[in-house]
Amino acid sequence: MGLSSSLKPYFLLLFVCSLNVSTINSTKPLKEEAVLFGGKFPALYVIGDSLVDSGNNNHLETKVKSNFPPYGSNFEGGKPTGRFSDGKTIADYIAIYYGLPLVPAYLGLSEEQRNNISTGINYASASCGIFPDTGKRLGKCLSLSVQVDLFNETIEKNLKKKFKTNSELSKHLAESLFMTAIGVNDYVFFYNKTIDANEFANKLLHEFMIQIKRLHKLGARNFFINNIKPLGCYPNIIAHTVPRGSCNDNLNLVISVFNAKLRRSLSHMKHKFSKTSFLYSDYFNFMLGLRGPSSNQATSNLLNTTSPCCPNVYDGGLTTSCTPGSTSCKVPETHIFFDPFHPTQLVNLMYAISCFQERKVCHVVRDALA
Ligand SMILES: *[C@@H]1O[C@H](CO)[C@@H](O)[C@H](O)[C@H]1NC(C)=O
Ligand SMILES: *[C@@H]1O[C@H](CO)[C@@H](O)[C@H](O)[C@H]1NC(C)=O
Ligand SMILES: *[C@@H]1O[C@H](CO)[C@@H](O)[C@H](O)[C@H]1NC(C)=O
Ligand SMILES: *[C@@H]1O[C@H](CO)[C@@H](O)[C@H](O)[C@H]1NC(C)=O
């Protein structure tokens, strides 16, 4: 830990400095690449779960909330906002990258504010998923189809006031970016070893693509799609593996079945819909990569790969989560995970760098048949 703490300031500085977007040169002349990586999007609309929830669950009757300390300890001077991290989420860094304001939670906005906003709205809701029943055991949340319903409502009630003509509105929608990060909770709540991984993935993907097509029908043309995280390496799972701390490779394999199908499916949709672009973000391999070369060894010397920052002592028990009474680690930047289910701000920043600058994580989806 001595090495880790003495290197930390440099480590942080390195990442902060390298998020200087304007210095990035496009290496490929492909137009779509230029648009998706450098595009001037007028708005970012966010669809997802707790990875990107920016406060919707604050307004819902549920146990799954994070609007209390120690959440947000690194957010704009220490504000718990309902983000499930010590600071910014990947949706925040994506907004920053594209020069947009951080995207506010839909349920936190007044009707007046909704009428006035044209830089994007966040509909993401912790504990929810693609299937309508996912997460509902823990309380209310906004499922994927409900999030799309709400976006439709935003168009009908709010954006039509802001954009007076149909062509202005269509232009806004066609130029905006639609980001998704959802699906892991469907595995958390509904997958078990007795279920065929292929069948489960097909069903889930079918539901997901229905909603992507609805967004397309509403006018969305630019998509930023995150695949599903390697749940098998998360603290809540690896607290129970043998040897303790090793990943559940089986669970990761089951999820990678979905991810492979997702990528193919987007490629086919790309073929079917002209003038539609997809950025596929391999969040799965980004998170896996942070553990080092082997999923069974946590080899990072800089970051604690196995235990969350909050709670400080974590045994993987069903009731141990990060609560208002929890003691957390002193320096979240020494951990991959802020709580048992979500990464720290530092990791979210590293994701943005890997996605946009190194371009290792995010790829433009090509037409399957071109
Ligand atoms: C509308 O948005 C602008 C900036 O986009 C802001 O300056 C103004 O205060 C907002 N008005 C209301 C009523 O929210
Ligand atoms: C696994 O899921 C199936 C389908 O939902 C359910 O019928 C079964 O009881 C579950 N098995 C276990 C061990 O949880
Ligand atoms: C959006 O809402 C309108 C009006 O309620 C409805 O007619 C339309 O079918 C909806 N579109 C989608 C894609 O859900
Ligand atoms: C990770 O953190 C936990 C709890 O804070 C601690 O017990 C464990 O030893 C740490 N692991 C490493 C590799 O530093």
* Strand partners for 47: 180
Given a contact cutoff of 8 angstroms between Cβ atoms, the answer to whether 47 and 152 are in contact is no
SS3 157: helix
Each of the 370 residues of the chain gets a pLDDT tens digit; together they read 333 333 344 344 444 444 443 334 444 447 888 889 988 999 999 999 999 999 999 999 999 999 999 999 999 999 999 999 999 999 999 999 999 999 999 999 999 999 999 999 999 999 999 999 999 999 999 999 999 999 999 999 999 999 999 999 999 999 999 999 999 999 999 999 999 999 999 999 999 999 999 999 999 999 999 999 999 999 999 999 988 889 999 999 999 999 999 999 999 999 999 899 999 999 999 999 998 765 555 555 678 999 999 999 888 876 689 999 899 999 999 999 999 999 999 999 999 999 999 998 999 999 888 7
Phi, psi of 223 (to 5 degrees): -120, 140
Query: In the chain, how long is the greatest CA-to-CA distance?
Result: 62
Phi, psi of 335 (to 5 degrees): -125, 145
Fill in the amino acid letter for 323: T
Which ligand approaches the C-alpha of residue 157 most closely? 3
The pLDDT of residue 293:
63
**233's tokens:** 């390496």
> Phi-psi bin for 168: left (phi > 0), alpha (psi -120 to 50), beta?
alpha
Q: Is 192 in the pocket of ligand 2 (CB under 6 A)?
A: yes
Fill in the amino acid letter for 172: H
The pLDDT of residue 23:
37
Which residue reads 């409502």 in tokens?
A: 153
Ligand 3 atom 8: the closest Cα is on which residue?
152
SS3 204: helix
Given a contact cutoff of 8 angstroms between Cβ atoms, the answer to whether 49 and 127 are in contact is yes
Q: Which of 49, 50, 176, 277 is catalytic?
A: 50
Q: From the CA of 152, how far away is ligand 3's center (Å)?
A: 6
Given a contact cutoff of 8 angstroms between Cβ atoms, the answer to whether 125 and 56 are in contact is yes
The pLDDT of residue 8:
42
Q: What is the DSSP string of 47-113?
A: EESTTT-SSGGGGSSBS----STTTTTTSTTT---S-SSSS--HHHHHHHHTT-PPPPBGGGS-HHH
Q: From the CA of 214, how far away is ligand 3's center (Å)?
A: 9
The pLDDT of residue 34:
87
Nearest of 86, 77, 88 to residue 54 by alpha carbon: 88
SS3 343: strand
Nearest of 259, 261, 250, 332 to residue 296 by alpha carbon: 250
Ligand 1 atom 2: the closest Cα is on which residue?
116
Closest ligand 2 atom to residue 190 Cα is 5
Beta-carbon contacts of 345 under 8 Å, excluding residues fewer than 6 positions away, are 74, 75, 85, 86, 87, 88, 332, 333, 338
Q: Is 101 in the pocket of ligand 1 (CB under 6 A)?
A: no
**Separation CA 185–CA 59 (nearest Å):** 20
The pLDDT of residue 297:
56
pTM over 0.85: yes
Q: Which of 186, 277, 328, 342 is catalytic?
A: 342
Q: From the CA of 307, how far away is ligand 4's center (Å)?
A: 6
